Structure 1
Amino acid sequence: MKKLILSSLMITALALSFTSCADDTGTGGASCFNGIQDGTETGVDCGGPDCAPCPTCDDGIQNGGETGVDCGGPDCAPCQGIVVKIGLITANEKWTSNNIYQLAGKVVVDEGVTLEIEPGTIIKGEKGIGSLASALIVARGGKIMAMGTAENPIVFTSSEDNIQVGQKAGTNLSEEDQGLWGGVLILGYAPGSFRGDVKEVQIEGIPAGDTFGLYGGDDPEDNSGVFEYISIRHGGALIGEGNEINGLTLGAVGSGTVINNVEIVANVDDGVEFFGGTVNTKNLLVWACGDDGLDIDQAYSGTVSNSVVILGNNSDHALEIDGPEGSLEGQYTLNNVTLIGNLDTPGGEYADHRSKAMGADNNIYAYGFKDNSDVELDNNGVSQNFLDGKLSFSNWEVVGFDNNIFLEKVATDDNDVPTEEKIILNPDFTSRAANWTTQVDLGANTVGANLGDFNWTYAKGKGAF
């Protein structure tokens, strides 16, 4: 389901809040002796009842009133703090792993600005809906350089998550906790296929005058930065009736952008949604999202490789794929993707191809789906594209395969509204499926993702696969 995102941006001043270190110089402000902070008289060791504990620093982590190395000392790294962010980022910034960054609303990386995020950094979004929904937005021409590592991934999560600096996961939330904040949005200047053949469109919910909400252009090699070894959890805040934020939204992102090793967990809406663009991605993992795992729209023309979708208790389709909205055509490619169903819960389908979908589904391994789960061609345009070779399938290996998983729904118009005739289209699609699909035993697959590439993920640690 196409759900472009985000409501009006609250442009307010940057709020910076952190627990500061004591001043041990003996001149000006409070000083610290023997672990006791002097809150009133400079240079005096305060032991009275009104004296706060001295913040001390042990290996760069603030330890409340424990005695130890004074935070102001030469051997002490900066103390851990909480940095609250809101509004427009207009100059280059670096977010560091010794702090937690809290999104108090929409935070926008402006055009011409680079946001760098260190490996191991934790970013938490505050809870809110509508105009108060929190999200990190990289506007067109802005860059995010978020380069986590397998050992130290960058974590986006909810402010309700009790994860702390230096940790990879908290203990109080699970894959069932969805919609606790917004998500991450990256916008670029790459082409997309839009209604009316316009070159750019505005993200829904952001006023037309706010140009940072535009995406689309003529540069297929546009570069929005690097986004790798990232875990995005518990997002999908509601911003309007039936309109939630995706875990990761990519609007016309170009092939100059690097997006690898990203997991989305417990998002209300889609895991990753591509709106046009040409960016190539690999090693994506989506687990327990409320709508679709990977969603493709507006003639996205990149390649998604070595990726995994794991459906949760209320997931819809592992794949939802739409085609162009304008005359510009583009074809996606899926290579070596593993789809894991939700056998014990209602709902949950392999894939839905809609609205003149164009592309190639190659080397797909699927298991854990119910007998009535299916792969759909959803309207006239999709079926014609299949017949014309613009939509293709190859090398599917399915546990419990039955040709009947491939079907055509009733005839629809270009807006996916069923026609009165309710004609079943392309009746030989099911028979042709046998040409590219093989039944395999669980674990005997020769296609699909290499699951070893996802050992770093939160999902792996929670036993999702």
Structure 2
Amino acid sequence: MTALKTKTLLAVAASALALAACGGDGTSELQNPGNTGGNPGTGGGNNNGGGNNGGGSTGACPTHPNVTKVTVGTEEHCRISGEITTNLTLTAGPAYQLNGTVKVGKDVGFDGQKAGGVVAVLSIDPGVKIYAGTRTSQLAIQRGSRINAQGTAAQPIIMTSADALGYATTLGLANARSPLAAGVRDDPYSGEWGGLSLLGRGVINNCPAAPAVCEAEAEGGSGLYGGNVPNDTSGTLKYVRVEYAGVRFTETNELNAIAFWGVGSGTTVDYIQAHNGGDDTVEFFGGSVNAKHLVLTGADDDSLDWTFGWNGKVQHVVIAQNPLQAAGDAGYEADNNELGFDITLRSAPTISNVTLVGNTTAGAGLRLRRGTAGKLYNHVVSGNFQRGLRIDDAATYAQADAGNLSLRSFYISVATPFHSAQAQAVFAKDANSRTGASTLSSYTSGGRAYINGVNENAGVSVDPRTVDAFFDAAPYVGAVRDSASNWTLNWTRWLND
């Protein structure tokens, strides 16, 4: 999580300078490499869901002003660059290369009336692979525009790095590495491109001057976000993997693997994985977007982050830290607002059926702070977190005392379950929350343990359907009740390898 960013020319300039310092969004790294030898992308890889290998790029590039055909090794790829102002569909077959900061649409403003605003839709078919051609390449969906990315379990949409597909050396990228070999489980790589950002017109709380409508500048040069449309839509993400993304320009200017900036509840998010993010895997900056079936693995900071008044609902989440990501920190890092802990609209998500597995001995499973509220149900916290539950700041405890922050049906299996006696007292308010030994298991021998065992399934759970119609029937704590109901299979990578 990063420091507050407001809509000022200084923030815009700082983002632009940071991008320039880190390679910018020009094409200096991407001059046509010509025919430089055999396809470098045929290596193996420890992955599921159609693999993560390059090779065999086939099919014609879309005819579109923002798409050009380029030669990479012995293959022809489709390079996407600039501001996309007319609808674009990416069909399966070709390899697609992001060239610098690619924005979908032009910002229409918080009310849809901004001069020069243009609405565009980026549609992505099942099985499409998109890779970053520069270290700072990113995909940013602007306010008013949409992404329609609907993969399947058999053919997920994959957004990844040139390194992972074996194209980095051919492109001449600095610090290029080889793709992971088949069968290799260790995966230390992250921060190889910018990531995916959705910018919406939902309500945010990070305007110090408290205007009638709050809008702000997102980090990393992604664009403007915020407004007064809680049910705004930024499109659909379904069966989408975002790998090796996330760039830290400075401590206050970062790109996450996937960032939801003021995104509204009209957006559909279901079956997404963010793997080995160079900062947080997923962060919600205000708005009210909801999500189901999230796999957040290998964050190099926090796994699920929220701030600036996020009020969404989430169900079915597996969080697993990667011991090779040394900076991995908290499972949740949850804020209302860092510059005003009691600013409204207050962060107050509702989240159910989550398993958090620590592997770095750093951070807490859940770190709730800075005045956040929230209703958290059916959580399993396990593994090598420094603490299972940490609650900071008087404003946060005030929310717990008022019943606005509650934890129900938790099972904590961490050596030190609580950061403080106060945090333990909040936990103890619920008679169905327990501590004990972990019996989590992996789906495959040697894989990551995240599937419930007898201890996890022995407790009393909350029926989330009684909380809100958004939630599925899930009469158990944690994300995956047993191997027979494992919804993470086939479309994710690393977790089941």
If the length of structure 2 is used for normalisation, what is the TM-score? 0.69
C-alpha contact (below 8 Å) 1:335/1:364 kept by paired residues: yes
Report the secondary structure of 2:400's partner residue. helix
Label 1:427 to 1:373 Cα distance change in 2 as closer, same or farther (>3 A). Answer: closer
C-alpha contact (below 8 Å) 1:84/1:104 kept by paired residues: yes
1:349 aligns with one of 320, 341, 364: 364
Matched, 1:321 2:334: yes
| Distance in 2, Cα, partners of 1:340 & 1:280 | 22
Give the 5 Å matches for 1:255-270.
255-270=265-280
1:121 aligns with one of 121, 124, 128: 128
2:396 aligns with one of 382, 385, 397: 382
| Distance in 2, Cα, partners of 1:396 & 1:115 | 40
Matched, 1:102 2:84: no
Label 1:441 to 1:292 Cα distance change in 2 as closer, same or farther (>3 A). Answer: closer
Q: CA deviation at 1:170?
A: 5.6
Q: CA deviation at 1:434?
A: 6.1
Q: Identify the residue that residue 426 of structure 2 maps to in structure 1.
A: 429
Give the 5 Å matches for 1:250-399.
250-313=260-323, 314=326, 315-324=328-337, 325=340, 326-342=343-359, 345-370=360-385, 372-399=386-413
Structure number with greater CO (CA < 8 Å, separation at least 6) is 2
Q: CA deviation at 1:296?
A: 0.9
Report the secondary structure of 1:335's partner residue. strand
| Distance in 2, Cα, partners of 1:459 & 1:11 | 28
Label 1:379 to 1:364 Cα distance change in 2 as closer, same or farther (>3 A). Answer: same
Report the secondary structure of 2:163's partner residue. coil
CA RMSD of aligned residues (A): 3.2
1:407 aligns with one of 420, 423, 429: 420
Report the secondary structure of 1:458's partner residue. coil
| Distance in 2, Cα, partners of 1:4 & 1:177 | 28
Q: CA deviation at 1:400?
A: 5.3
Report the secondary structure of 2:165's partner residue. coil
Report the secondary structure of 2:227's partner residue. coil
Report the secondary structure of 1:459's partner residue. coil
2:487 aligns with one of 443, 453, 460: 453
Label 1:252 to 1:100 Cα distance change in 2 as closer, same or farther (>3 A). Answer: same
Q: Which amino acid is the alignment partner of residue 2 of structure 1?
A: T
Moved more, 234-243 or 350-359: 234-243
Q: Identify the residue that residue 417 of structure 1 maps to in structure 2.
A: none
Label 1:431 to 1:226 Cα distance change in 2 as closer, same or farther (>3 A). Answer: closer
Q: Which amino acid is the alignment partner of residue 426 of structure 2?
A: F
Q: CA deviation at 1:457?
A: 3.4
| Distance in 1, Cα, partners of 2:119 & 2:31 | 23
Name stretches of at least 5 consecutive residues in structure 1 with no aligned partner: 21-58, 63-78, 207-211, 409-424
Q: Identify the residue that residue 180 of structure 1 maps to in structure 2.
A: 192
C-alpha contact (below 8 Å) 2:220/2:253 kept by paired residues: no
| Distance in 2, Cα, partners of 1:92 & 1:18 | 29
Label 1:271 to 1:317 Cα distance change in 2 as closer, same or farther (>3 A). Answer: same
Label 1:291 to 1:60 Cα distance change in 2 as closer, same or farther (>3 A). Answer: closer
C-alpha contact (below 8 Å) 2:365/2:389 kept by paired residues: yes
Name stretches of at least 5 consecutive residues in structure 2 with no aligned partner: 6-11, 36-55, 60-73, 106-117, 168-177, 440-452, 458-476
2:216 aligns with one of 186, 194, 201: 201
Moved more, 197-206 or 119-128: 197-206
Matched, 1:215 2:225: yes
Q: CA deviation at 1:250?
A: 0.1
Q: Which amino acid is the alignment partner of residue 187 of structure 2?
A: E
Q: Which amino acid is the alignment partner of residue 179 of structure 1?
A: G
Q: CA deviation at 1:459?
A: 2.9
Report the secondary structure of 2:164's partner residue. coil
Moved more, 278-287 or 97-106: 97-106
Q: Give per-residue Cα distances to partners, 1:387-436, cap 9 Å, x unaligned.
A: 1111110000123576x52526xxxxxxxxxxxxxxxx688436546653
Label 1:351 to 1:248 Cα distance change in 2 as closer, same or farther (>3 A). Answer: same
Q: Which amino acid is the alignment partner of residue 328 of structure 1?
A: L
Q: Identify the residue that residue 142 of structure 1 maps to in structure 2.
A: 145
Q: Identify the residue that residue 82 of structure 1 maps to in structure 2.
A: 77
Q: CA deviation at 1:84?
A: 1.5
Q: Give per-residue Cα distances to partners, 1:47-86, cap 9 Å, x unaligned.
A: xxxxxxxxxxxx9848xxxxxxxxxxxxxxxx97311222
C-alpha contact (below 8 Å) 2:387/2:415 kept by paired residues: no
Identity %: 29
Q: Identify the residue that residue 53 of structure 2 maps to in structure 1.
A: none
C-alpha contact (below 8 Å) 1:4/1:204 kept by paired residues: no
Matched, 1:230 2:243: no
| Distance in 2, Cα, partners of 1:297 & 1:360 | 15
| Distance in 2, Cα, partners of 1:60 & 1:100 | 6
Q: Give per-residue Cα distances to partners, 1:153-203, cap 9 Å, x unaligned.
A: 011111112269xxxx96459631111111000010111122333421111
Q: Which amino acid is the alignment partner of residue 280 of structure 2?
A: D
| Distance in 2, Cα, partners of 1:242 & 1:100 | 33
Report the secondary structure of 1:327's partner residue. coil
Report the secondary structure of 1:385's partner residue. helix
| Distance in 2, Cα, partners of 1:138 & 1:189 | 12
If the length of structure 1 is used for normalisation, what is the TM-score? 0.73
Q: How many residues align?
A: 377
Label 1:318 to 1:98 Cα distance change in 2 as closer, same or farther (>3 A). Answer: same
Q: Which amino acid is the alignment partner of residue 2 of structure 2?
A: K
| Distance in 2, Cα, partners of 1:291 & 1:448 | 22
| Distance in 1, Cα, partners of 2:94 & 2:33 | 9
Structure of higher CA gyration radius = 1
Report the secondary structure of 2:362's partner residue. coil
Q: Give per-residue Cα distances to partners, 1:2-52, cap 9 Å, x unaligned.
A: 368993377879x997999xxxxxxxxxxxxxxxxxxxxxxxxxxxxxxxx
